[in-house]
Structure 1
Amino acid sequence: MHPWSLISPASRGIGFALARQVLRSTKVPVVATARKDLPKTRDELLKGLDVDGDRLTMLEVDVLDESSIADAATTCKEKFPSTSHNLHLAFIVPGLLFPEKSPSQINADDALLTFRTNTLGPMLMIKHFSSFLPKKSSKLNKKEVTSTEGLPPMSITAVMSARVGSISENRLGGWYSYRASKAGINQLAKTFDNHLRTSAGENAIAVALHPGTVKTGLSKEFWGHVEKEKLFEREWVAERLLDVVCKFRIERRGKCYDWDGKEVPP
């Protein structure tokens, strides 16, 4: 079985940096998604990288539109037939934040959009792309999947969480819709991993990741409130997250981990 990778979305922020890092540090084909401007995003992803551009496939995906997810999955079925390929590394990272400080600031439409983007979007991605993951009976190609290739020892689906999604560590309150959506992501990772225990055994796991506070558009208005040493560049975070998942072992499945590989409690 030959591995390939998926990063969605990859047009900006952490997803953009992750796609470049996977292109740079592995030799596998990479599928990157964006809602629009695919040629421009492709050029930006490849800019300055000494890699074979044919490894990169750009697909149009809007996680708010399930038909676009289904169409992308159909394209991948043609490009990566399950008889000879498996999705070995998937980063599903859409994100949206409305920072409600008090209950009076909760807006129903904004909250719904937060859940559709942060929680339901990754759920639908898993719905349409889980069939690409290896089965219990799959024989992973050890010549293709090695530490020197920059890949984890088993297939990993990683969804993007946040420390504020931890219920046990919530001591400040606020950010109602974002916190709840990320707590939902942690549950999604655990529930999907339970499915993989049955369908894939030790060939595939699911996890959630906390990247820390990253210098992206999502967190820009909060940069001034974060200690300098705790505000990370997206390229550094992408390198750390890829390193973390490559070191995962089977017993770490179904949980949430930060950029340093430490578990974030539920």
Structure 2
Amino acid sequence: MRPWSLVSPASRGIGFALARHLLGTSNAPLVATTRTDLDKTKEELLAGLDGVDEGRLTVLKVDVLDESTISAAAAHCTSQFPPTATPPHHLHLAFIIPGLLFPEKSPAQIDAADALLTFRTNTLGPMLMLKHFSPLLPRKSTVLDSSDVDVLKGLPAVPTAAFMSARVGSISDNRLGGWYSYRASKAGLNQVVKTFDNHLRTASGEKAVAVGLHPGTVKTGLSKEFWGSTKKEKLFDVDWVAERLVEVVRGVGVTGRGKCWDWEGKEVPP
């Protein structure tokens, strides 16, 4: 068994923190993606991580608005980590987390171009990622050896594709309104996660699952406009959140598949 991990994108924010956390706590090769500055991104991801073999990290170009870059990255990974090798390589942990937010507080603020870009980034982008990367997840026929503790260090026991959702994507939890495009795009993403997990039930059985994640309000550029209105104890450090999300994914397993989970490991209702 030769597992590897994917964080896309990983050039800043939560993705950057997730990639560095996995480099520092696991042994598996890691593929990180960025739209630009591949060499700079690799240098920044490795900075200060003493003892980490830089050969474990591959940085590839992916722009979720350009399917050709997704296809090319998946083809590169298929060549680098062939699932037909002996023993086979497989994608064991994927964080697929592109995100964009235009905060519409009233219907009058809805802009068609911004709304379309939001859906293309938050919903269609992850959908295209799973289109091209899902063949690299384990199949029912893939032999997984959970006895090799060193190989699985820092990774979930069950291979997992994790998608960055948000609590505001919950329809039943929507009490405040607003954020029309962002809410709708994340609600759509939750449906993508559930549908993809249903596919994995057939294709992979219990050897691969899909989940959504809600990180809370994290001190990143995406949420900067809301730092001042967020209670201090509810505004989270990005490195802490990255650690929590990895722990949540490690704890979800087969029983939590197809659902959305927050940073505390609590289910976010549909």
Alignment TM class, shorter chain as reference? over 0.9
Contact kept, 8 Å, 1:2 with 1:141, in 2: the verdict is no
Matched residue of 1:219: which SS?
helix
> In 2 relative to 1, CA 120–90 (structure 1 residues): closer, same or farther, beyond 3 Å?
same
Cα displacement (A) at 1:142: 2.1
Matched residue of 1:126: which SS?
helix
Cα displacement (A) at 1:138: 1.1
**CA distance in 2 between partners of 1:164 and 1:249 (Å):** 24
Is the counterpart of residue 69 in structure 1 residue 70 in structure 2? Answer: yes
Is the counterpart of residue 126 in structure 1 residue 130 in structure 2? Answer: yes
Specify every segment of 5 or more residues in structure 1 that has no aligned partner in the other structure, as ranges.
none
- 2:43: which partner in 1? 43
Equivalent runs, 1:1-266 vs 2, <5 Å: 1-50=1-50, 51-83=52-84, 84-144=88-148, 149-266=153-270
Matched residue of 2:197: which SS?
helix
- In structure 1, what residue type is equivalent to 2:81? F
**CA distance in 1 between partners of 2:112 and 2:71 (Å):** 28
Contact kept, 8 Å, 1:147 with 1:153, in 2: the verdict is no
**CA distance in 1 between partners of 2:74 and 2:253 (Å):** 28
Cα deviations by residue, 1:86-123 (Å, 9 ceiling, x for unpaired): 00000000000000011111000000000000000000
**CA distance in 2 between partners of 1:78 and 1:144 (Å):** 24
Matched residue of 1:218: which SS?
helix
Which deviates further from its counterpart, 139-148 or 118-127?
139-148
**CA distance in 2 between partners of 1:218 and 1:161 (Å):** 13
Specify every segment of 5 or more residues in structure 2 that has no aligned partner in the other structure, as ranges.
none
Contact kept, 8 Å, 2:138 with 2:208, in 1: the verdict is yes
Identity %: 70
**CA distance in 1 between partners of 2:211 and 2:168 (Å):** 16
Report the aligned-residue RMSD.
1.1
Cα deviations by residue, 1:224-252 (Å, 9 ceiling, x for unpaired): 00000000011000000001111122110
Cα displacement (A) at 1:137: 1.5
- In structure 2, what residue type is equivalent to 1:15? G
Matched residue of 2:72: which SS?
helix
Aligned length: 266
